[in-house]
Amino acid sequence: MRRREFIAISLLAPLAMSGGAWAGPASDTVPDGRPHRFGFGERRFELDGRPFRIRSGEMHPARIPREYWQHRIRMAKAMGLNTTAIYVMWNHHERRPGVFDWQSENRDVAAFIRLCQAEGMWVYLRPGPYVCGEWTNGGLPAYLLPDPDIKLRTKDDPAFMAATLRYIGQLAAFVKPLMAANGGPVLMIQVENEYSMFADDVDYLHALAEMWRVHGIDGPFSVSDGWKDLEQRKAYLPGAALGLDGADVDTLGKGPTYAGDAPVWVGEGYPGWLTHWGESAFAGKDYVDTLRSIIRAGYWFNLYVAHGGTNFGLTAGSNAEDDGSQFQPVITSYDYAAPIDERGRASPAYATLRDVITREAGVDAPRPPADIPAGRFAPFTPAAKASLWDALGQAVELPQPGPNEVLFGQDQGLVVYRKRVGHGGTLRLEGVRDYAVVYADGREVGHVSRVTHPAVSSSPDVTIAGEAVIDVLVDTFGHINFGPRLGDHKGLVGPVTFEGAPARDVQAWPLPLDGAWLDEMPALRGAPTRGGVLFEGALSLDKAGDVYLDMSAWNKGYLWVNGRLLGRYWHIGPQQRLYCPGVWLKHGANTVRVLDLHRTEGAPISCAERMHDGLA
């Protein structure tokens, strides 16, 4: 999904364009289990030889509890949509080389696709290998990163291409019978995402399409890009449907310059927008007039996103400038100001967009399903239970700090570095990725943040008053998901010096947040004296349903409910409330654990029904 400026929107475009006019009767066929011929006519999509109008809305199974999939699909259908676009996040399914998970929890992509079919929705499959999507590393597996010489998204790196072929082979095995030609709902497959925003090697796109062909899927294929980037790098796969991201009607009319007679459509139209940690408010967009003009001009569209969901766990990605500056991690919520909000309810934009789609496209949409109930619990204050400083165990002896992925094979999480100095001076931490708290003899003396924000901005220099044992606790955000810094390493990747001399012979403790150390931490024997404390409390559910846990009284850290990592919280906001689906809660007491990097005393956690009070 594009991360730079929007293309300006023209509301004065003509009402019919040769590239997208709805000439002739259109097919209203639904996926019924029988084979259907989906393909491309002259600048249009066709189903069984008749023009087909794709009215698509995107949602991602990986961001939605499986129990809510059907509800979200029905909400999208009730908007007047007939197609569901799906990103498949490669790293959600293959965390270790060759070890795939297509079954557990919300990873059963085939089941989601079959559910779309059961609800009368076609599917537009967008499996990467790269998806961006504000997802860590753009969906590419972190196991690729320990190799410092790996080159991502290129046919010229054998290791990357071998891993990609293995991934596509896995996907193709269950996607092939789900293609429309075989009686399934999948209309077409996007071979890569926004490649002209990254590189210009068209042969790489050909290689990806060939990977699908050798596994028995010969398209139809699509690509998606921003117009300015396409003009600059011209990375278009000949014959593919051309999705233009953020495009207005005038821009869509230019598409045949590259696509020829292949369809041109809005690959991503933005009814909302993403939000980063530290921004002053939640982002949003008004897409009503834009969508109306696109439909009137006879073009097809995919709303990115109809429903965003949540970046549960450590799945949220980050953005940055091309040189790595202006690092911007994405918040835990992926509400996106979408027409279907994080909890699956109709947002203020839902009714107006639904009205535009049904009126302008002339469709009769079903009524939306009932909302998922909201839950309720009384405020509670978790108590300090353990300290990570008591759970470090055996140190790893290192000649110097470095990337987590290379040194420890660890993706995200925490790392502690320790070094004794014999006198006072300046500790300089360059290349902190992404947040470090510094202690001298157990006393917090400073922090270094990669994020620029008035509340947390800092110098890389931390003053050490005298002889001391220095501990540096390094915390991470998701990997950069867009641009040339894709695949950034985590940890202390830059020079670490004390009084100008490189730090040598350090001790280190890698602390993955899915590691056993969290459950094996010894109980506290007294009041904690520094951050890195694990707190525990009981959430007593008075009323069953979805809840938001208000973390505004806390500082920075991670929140688990009944063993599930909901995600990150941070006092700089704008997000202060983390979503917990009701299906992950039980009536009565639920175990809540909080790992805070700064607090030594617990703080209240209260119940909220919405992500923020500005929502309807």
Same domain for 544 and 511, yes or no, is no
Residue 503's Cβ-side half-sphere holds a number of Cα atoms within 13 Å equal to 29
Q: Is 10 left (phi over 0), alpha (psi -120 to 50) or beta?
A: beta
Instruction: Write the CATH number for 600.
Output: 2.60.120.260
Provide the whole-model pTM.
0.95
Find the helix or strand (DSSP H, E) in which 396 lies: strand 396-398
Instruction: Write the CATH number for 244.
Output: 3.20.20.80
Residue 276 CA from chain centroid, whole number: 12
| Separation of alpha carbons 519 and 136, rounded Å | 25
Q: What is the mean pLDDT of residues 166-182?
A: 98
Q: What is the mean pLDDT of residues 40-55?
A: 97
**201 occurs within a structural domain:** yes
Q: Is residue 262 a contact partner of residue 287, using CB atoms and an 8 Å limit? A: no
Q: Is residue 355 a contact partner of residue 339, using CB atoms and an 8 Å limit? A: no
From 194, 342, 405, 444, the catalytic residue: 194
Read off the pLDDT band of 28 (50, 70, 90): confident
| Separation of alpha carbons 574 and 1, rounded Å | 22
Beta pairing partners, 433: 491
Q: Is residue 56 a contact partner of residue 186, using CB atoms and an 8 Å limit? A: no
Read off the pLDDT band of 26 (50, 70, 90): low
The lowest-confidence range among 378-382, 429-433, 456-460, 508-512 is 456-460
Q: What is the mean pLDDT of residues 16-23?
A: 42
Q: Is residue 90 a contact partner of residue 153, using CB atoms and an 8 Å limit? A: no
Which of 484, 518, 552 represents a domain boundary (last residue)? 518
Q: How many Cβ atoms sit within 10 Å of the Cβ of residue 179?
A: 25
| Separation of alpha carbons 49 and 28, rounded Å | 12
Pairing verdict, β 496-498 and 443-449 = unpaired
Same domain for 43 and 159, yes or no, is yes
The two counts, helices (H) then strands (E), for the chain are 11, 36
Token pair listed for 267: 């690959």
Same domain for 502 and 598, yes or no, is no
Same domain for 149 and 244, yes or no, is yes
| Separation of alpha carbons 476 and 404, rounded Å | 10
Token pair listed for 213: 């062909």
Read off the pLDDT band of 25 (50, 70, 90): low
Token pair listed for 41: 């006519």
Q: Is residue 175 a contact partner of residue 125, using CB atoms and an 8 Å limit? A: yes
Q: What is the mean pLDDT of residues 312-329?
A: 96
**27 occurs within a structural domain:** no
pLDDT over threshold 90, residue 492: yes
pLDDT over threshold 90, residue 266: yes
Work out the widest C-alpha separation in the chain, in whole angstroms: 83
* % of the chain with per-residue pLDDT over 70: 95
268 is known as an active-site residue: yes
pLDDT of residue 7: 33
Summarised one tens digit per residue, pLDDT across range 223-263 is: 999 999 999 999 999 999 999 999 999 999 999 999 999 99
Which of 496, 518, 540 represents a domain boundary (last residue)? 518
Q: What is the mean pLDDT of residues 526-547?
A: 96
pLDDT over threshold 60, residue 6: no
| Three-state DSSP state, 335 | coil
**How would you class 275 by CB atoms within 10 Å of its CB: exposed for 0-12, middle for 13-18, buried for 19 or more?**
buried
**279 occurs within a structural domain:** yes
Where is pLDDT greater, at 525 or 549?
549
Same domain for 175 and 223, yes or no, is yes
Same domain for 338 and 421, yes or no, is no
Dihedral (Cα; 317, 322, 325, 331), 10-degree rounding = -20
Number of domains in the chain: 3
**575 occurs within a structural domain:** yes
Summarised one tens digit per residue, pLDDT across range 182-224 is: 999 999 999 999 999 999 999 999 999 999 999 999 999 999 9
Q: How many Cβ atoms sit within 10 Å of the Cβ of residue 43?
A: 19
Same domain for 513 and 557, yes or no, is no
**614 occurs within a structural domain:** no
Q: What is the mean pLDDT of residues 13-30?
A: 52
The lowest-confidence range among 21-35, 79-93, 557-571, 596-610 is 21-35
**123 occurs within a structural domain:** yes
Q: What is the mean pLDDT of residues 23-49?
A: 89
pLDDT of residue 14: 33
Q: Tell me the pLDDT of the chain averaged across its residues.
A: 94
Q: Is residue 332 a contact partner of residue 560, using CB atoms and an 8 Å limit? A: no
Same domain for 490 and 533, yes or no, is no
For the chain, the first-to-last Cα distance in angstroms comes to 27
Q: What is the mean pLDDT of residues 68-90?
A: 98
**10 occurs within a structural domain:** no
Which of 456, 486, 518 represents a domain boundary (last residue)? 518
Same domain for 129 and 246, yes or no, is yes
210 is known as an active-site residue: no
**5 occurs within a structural domain:** no
Same domain for 470 and 537, yes or no, is no
pLDDT of residue 613: 85
pLDDT of residue 416: 98
Domain that holds residue 58: 38-361
- List phi, psi (to 5°) of 129: -65, -25
| Three-state DSSP state, 540 | strand
pLDDT of residue 458: 85
Read off the pLDDT band of 357 (50, 70, 90): very high
Q: How many Cβ atoms sit within 10 Å of the Cβ of residue 8?
A: 9
From 58, 268, 342, 405, the catalytic residue: 268
Same domain for 488 and 549, yes or no, is no
pLDDT of residue 142: 97
Same domain for 225 and 256, yes or no, is yes
Where is pLDDT greater, at 25 or 295?
295
